[in-house]
Structures are given as structure tokens and as C-alpha cells.
Structure 1
Amino acid sequence: MTVWIGYIVIILISAVMSYFQPGVIPWNEQAVLYKNVQEISVFLFGVMGLWLGLMDPESLKDIFNLSNRDVSSNLKRLKIIFRPIRSSTLLLVVTILVTWLAPYVKRIKIVIDNKDFMLNCSYFVLCVACMSLVWSLFTTLVPLDDTENDIENASRARSEIDDIMKNTK
């Protein structure tokens, strides 16, 4: 639920930014920003995939092993890790489509006649993409915090076990 509220806020802010911006941002400036979003999305996708493979390989095995499907204990953690992967994949699709279709769409008469409006629409998509990317980058901090808490809890438990073992001798 919180995720959807975040994206609704992102869309509203993007709509306001693209509607009330002073002037029109030319396509050549937007194209550079689309490329940056695309590159950062690729990086985010790779880092989260690596993170999942290194930090939680057993959960990753459970996902693809349908006969041993006891993912319920790790479901929350997996959702947190998969969210940035899903977002970066969607951002990649959007940026690839926009940059691929732009040269063709620019030649359509109705687009030519409404060039400023179309550039503002493109800027709206760019704003949504950029803010979604920032949101995704912030969500990558959650698994780090969870792992840090797990390490602290394991260390604390180990210390308690060591103390009990010392007292029994």
C-alpha cells in the first residue's frame, strides 16, 4: 500500500513539474537524461541481483525450486529485494521505448503540430522515471538495514550462548 501511495505522489509531483515548468525542455536535453536513467537502472538491477545472490542464496534457490516451496519465512525480505529489481526493469523498458520511438513519433503530423505539448508529456514521463529511480534507490537501503539487524541479532545470540557455556563449566 505504501508503495502505491509513493508512486501516486511521484506522478502528482511530476504532473505539476511538467505543467508549470517555465518554457519547454528540448528533446536533446531530455534524451541525455533518459540515457542517464537507463544506465542507473541497469546498475541498480545488477546490484540488487548481486545482493540477492550473495546475501540470500538459499531464498533464491527456494524461489526456483517449486517442490520445496517454503518461502513464507523469507517472503517479506524477498519482496523488499525484488521491488527495486522490478522498478529498475520497468524503468529500463520505459526509457528504451521512449528513446527508440522518439525519432519516429517526432515525424507524425499531430505531434509536430503539438510539439510543445508532446515535449511536456515527455518531460512528465522523464520526471516520473527519475523520481521512481530515486525511490528505488532508497528502497535498496531496506535490505541493508535488515541484514545489519540480522548480523547484530546473530552476534548477540552467539554472545549469550558463549556466556551460558562459560557459566556451565
Structure 2
Amino acid sequence: MPDPNPAALDFLLSRRSRPAKTLRAPAPTREALQPLLQAAARSPDHGKLEPWRFVVIEAGAMPRLADLAEARARALELDESDIAKARAQFDQGVLAVAVIEVQKPSDKIPAIEQSYSAGAVCLALLNAALASGWGANWLSGRVSHDRTFCETGLGLAPHERVAGLIHIGTETTAPPERPRPDLDAITEWVSR
């Protein structure tokens, strides 16, 4: 018989991300963030490659990244609403952890499995933050895929990419409920 953990299952069945625009200071200190990063680093990692790393974006870096996001959006000739959106997560952010996918050469572990591992790290960090009582949200957006922004703003090497930006702070409003998938519509049972 399995040894159930009803509290953990209840948390997973009821968890909800907090909209990043509703997160405010205080954010976790470096000391408070350490166990969240440790929890995220325990994600599935076939071959023990550790195909990811963390870049912690503290409040002092947010204005610089907001300016860079705007400059890149203007260079790409985006419309004003997209420019505002590019800035917003950094203008409003108090702390974010960029989970960086770092592909490692491997004859045994395909690149896609390394990408899945980086995604698992994002979700584990999000859930660790929520379980610790913080508000958190996993964002990406155009800036996450803009090489100039990533290399200039976050110091990424050419072989690295952003898997997600996990914003963490104090929630200021209750998160909205949203529709959930219809399990019957997305589940197929194979018995033989």
C-alpha cells in the first residue's frame, strides 16, 4: 500500500498561480529563496545532466530589464501595447527567477527530454513558492525568446535559453478561479 500525503495532494488539486501584476513586496530574501531553489532542483533529470540553471532577478535589476525590454520591443517595431506588455513584468516585478535551459551534450538523453526537465524545474519552483505562502506566477513572453534581450539582460550564452520567468512576491488579491480541463475529454484508457 502507498503511504499517502493528503496535504500535498490537496495542495496540488487546489493550487492556483497568482497573476504577476498582483505581486508586491516583500519578496523572499535570498535566505528564504534557497529552499525554493533546492526544491526546484529536485526535478526529474534523466542522466543527471542538470540541463538548467537559475538567474535570480532582484528588485534592483527590474528597472534595467524593463528599459531593455522596451528598447528591444521598439527595435522590433512592435506596437505600443506590445511595448507596454514587454516592460510590464519588470516594471511590476519585485523578484523573479529565470530558469535557464542549458542543453548538455548526451548520446543517451535527447534534447527534448532536457527541455522537459527545465520545464519541470519551472513548475517545481512555482509550486514550492506557492506552498511556502508566496504568490507566484510563471511567465515567458516575447522577451524570453529574444536572443539580444536574453544575452544582454540575463547574460545567457548562445546555447542557453529561458524556460520560464517565475515571479515571486506577496499576493495582494485572491487569485481568480479559471476553467479547468475536462478530464473525460482529454483522457484515454488503454487496457489491452
Decide: shared fold, TM above 0.5. Answer: no
- Structure with the bigger RCO (C-alpha within 8 Å, sep 6+) is 1
Per the normalisation by structure 2, the TM-score is 0.25
Larger Rg belongs to? 1
More helix by proportion, 1 or 2?
1
- TM-score normalised by structure 1 residue count: 0.27
